[in-house]
Each structure stands twice: as structure tokens, then as C-alpha cells.
Amino acid sequence: TVGAAALDQDGHLAAATSTGGTTGKRWGRVGDSPIIGAGTYAKDGACAVSATGTGEYFIRESAARQVCDRVLWKGQTIAEAAQDTIMAVGAIGGDGGLIAMDAAGEVAFGLNDLGMYRGTVSAETPIRTAIF
């Protein structure tokens, strides 16, 4: 699965996710990636999120929307919201990760697995990539 979250110069946020799903999926199984609020979500003034992992758990936790709700309603920072959301996914058995961005373009990664291919760039910082 691949995903992106962005803040543009006008202060607008967007998120997108794309995937082939999981190897050997059957019966028309659909994971969280195309489910708005589960694997993908964006709301100006709050956050933009794209998730990757065992999709069923991200759907049950409304993971992407949950990050934004934690920011808007609970007043958490984007880092706290990303971390607590991925812990909530893990608490019911799911694993994976997510990227999140707040209204100011602050980036956070939440991860409860061994690694996630990821990267950032902004008006002030050069391209950076990480895996583990």
C-alpha cells in the first residue's frame, strides 16, 4: 500500500491511498484503503491521514478519522493522535502504520510493526526517507 498526505500553500490538506490489497485475498475482500475514514481521510484545520496495514482493524477503529477526531476533539498533537490511534488498532489485533499531517504541515508517523517505507519533504526541509 502507498499513501500521501499534503498541505498546500493555501493551507488546504489532502490525502490519498492506493493498494493491491493482500496476497491471496478472496471473496471480493476490500480493506481499509478505499474506505473513507478508515484508511484515508482529510479535513482542513485538522489533519490528513493515509494508513497501511491489516485493513479490517483499521476499518473497525475508523483509524484515519480517529486521528483527526483526536486532534479536533481531544486537543492532541498530531504525534499523540497518530501514536494513540495506531495503539488502538493494535489493541484489537491489527498491525501496520499510518502517516498523518496537521493543519500546520507537521508530520507524524504511527507504527506498530517492524518497519514502514516512508518519507517527507516541505518548504523548509529537504527530502528525507526512512524505513525502520
Partner 1 sequence: KRWALAIHGGAGVIEREKLSPEKEAQYRAGLSAALSRGQAVLDKGGTAVDAVEATLRVLEDNPLFNAGKGAVFTADGVNELDAAIMDGATQKAGAVAGVTRTKNPVSLARAVMEKSPHVLLARDGADRFSVEKGLEQVDPQYFFTQPRWDQLQAWRAKNLAAVDQTHLFG
| Residues 55-94 contacting partner 1, CB under 8 A | none
Alpha-carbon gap, residue 21 to 115, rounded angstroms: 18
Q: CB 86 → partner 1: shortest distance, Å?
A: 10
Alpha-carbon gap, residue 27 to 30, rounded angstroms: 9
- One character per residue 9-48, x = contact with partner 1 (rule: CB under 8 A): xx-xxxxxxxxxxxxxxx-x-xx-xxxx--xxxxxx-x-x
Compute how many residues bind partner 1; rule: CB under 8 A: 72
Q: CB 126 → partner 1: shortest distance, Å?
A: 9
Quick one: which of 74, 87, 91, 119 contacts partner 1 (CB under 8 A)? 119
Under 8 Å CB-to-CB from 73, ≥6 apart: which residues? Answer: none
Under 8 Å CB-to-CB from 77, ≥6 apart: which residues? Answer: 71, 102, 106, 108
Q: By CB under 8 A, is residue 131 in contact with partner 1?
A: yes
Q: CB 85 → partner 1: shortest distance, Å?
A: 14
Quick one: which of 56, 75, 91, 99 contacts partner 1 (CB under 8 A)? 99
Alpha-carbon gap, residue 111 to 125, rounded angstroms: 22
Q: Is 1 among the residues known to form the active site?
A: yes
In this structure, are strands 128-130 and 40-43 parallel, antiparallel, or unpaired?
A: unpaired
Q: Tell me which residues are annotated as active site.
A: 1
